[in-house]
Amino acid sequence: MGKFSGCSYVTADFLHSVMNVSSPMVNSSFSESNRTQLSIYSQITIEIVRTSLIILVFIGFFSFLYFMKILLSVYFTTEHIRDNSRYILFAHMLITDTVCLLMCLLLMVCAIYVLYLPFFICYIIVAGISTSFVVTPYNLAVMSLERYVAICFPLRHMEICSVHNTSIVISIMWFLGFIPVLANIIAMSSAVQKEIFSVKVKCNYFAVTMTSVQETINSVHILLSLIMVGVILVFTYIKVLLVAKKCGSSAFKASKTVLLHGFQVLLCMTSLTTSFLELSFKDYVLLLRAIFFLVFMCLPRFLSPLIYGLRDEVFWKYIQKIYMKPLIAAA
């Protein structure tokens, strides 16, 4: 899970760094009126920075929602697509990513405006983020396996990748993602007092990680998940690529799709380093959080609509049919 560190109070140095504003050095010779003006100036600058970051993040989030709306509308209105395991997994990933981003956005707003939430609510949000966050790489790995079966075992594809089997695999993904949450609840309940659940906290990963056991559980789970997903992606890419050299363009396209899945996983997992970067650059914490949210949370999920909306012939055909033709007819 990407670790969301607590929101520090914005210092004057941070504001000057972000806005590139130079001001006279504050010293004991400043009059009381000058200090008052500087305080007012700092508060105005804080609000400008906060508002700018929120606008930037919301633009990214609603752009993502717009793409999701287009693709999900195609999925739910087309029976042929709903019966295909590839597109079932894709729709599942879109919904999972939307839920994850929505909860991340909530934490982002809480961090920027230093809002406090009840510990119990905070834990549910962080647990939801951690579970949905790790389910996305699982989903990408399973989608790569589906491409592997389609290319290497075409005659058994419908049997292996049936709707029923796909539903079972999705359930297994969520079970694996929820294991550390259950383990954390057990570890935390035996180490902390029950009164903590009624306390209001600045909601982030560290606020609900109260024991070293929890830290170990999360680290081991992420490490094992990364190894498992990485092995699956490398295996499927090599197998599909070998078949592509013999068969032709369709297999080559599948190998490129698997490679893009790997790039998405890499971007997702890179977000695990954000906490360490925030600790190293504390004065830029707000700016870093906005950048990390857009680059490591939004960007990997923006790739999904591009891969399946523009590159996939079936989706592109129905997108043109539903959205393009009415616009052309109206014109």
What pLDDT does residue 17 have? 37
Residue found by looking up tokens 């954390």 in the block: 184
What DSSP string runs through 46-101?
HHHHHHHHHHHHHHHHHHHHHHHHHHHHHHHH-HHHHT-HHHHHHHHHHHHHHHHH
- Residue 173's CB is within 10 A of a number of other CB atoms, namely 22
Does residue 132 form part of some domain?
Answer: yes
What is residue 73's DSSP assignment?
A: H
CB of 146 closer than 8 Å to CB of 85:
yes
Does residue 159 form part of some domain?
Answer: yes
Tokens of 72: 């999900």
> To which H or E segment does residue 117 belong?
strand 116-118
- Residue 84's CB is within 10 A of a number of other CB atoms, namely 18
Does residue 325 form part of some domain?
Answer: yes
**Containing structural domain, residue 239:** 12-330
pLDDT tens digits, 188-199? 887 777 777 778
> To which H or E segment does residue 200 belong?
strand 200-202
Does residue 114 form part of some domain?
Answer: yes
Task: With CA atoms as reference, report the closest residue to 43 among 9, 8, 66, 78.
Answer: 9
Does residue 7 form part of some domain?
Answer: no
Tokens of 217: 């559980």
| DSSP bridge partners of 56 | none
Which contacts (CB < 8 Å, 24+ apart) does range 209-215 have? 209/184, 211/187, 213/187, 214/184, 214/187, 214/188
pLDDT tens digits, 241-272? 888 777 665 566 666 777 777 777 776 666 66
Does residue 5 form part of some domain?
Answer: no
Q: Which residues contact 172 (CB under 8 A, 6 or more apart)?
A: none
Does residue 64 form part of some domain?
Answer: yes
Q: How many domains does the chain have?
A: 1
Going by pLDDT thresholds of 50, 70 and 90, the confidence category of residue 307 is low
Does residue 3 form part of some domain?
Answer: no
Rg (alpha carbons) of the chain, rounded to whole number: 23
CATH number (domain holding residue 92): 1.20.1070.10
Calculate the average pLDDT of the chain. Answer: 75
pLDDT tens digits, 196-211? 777 888 887 778 888 8
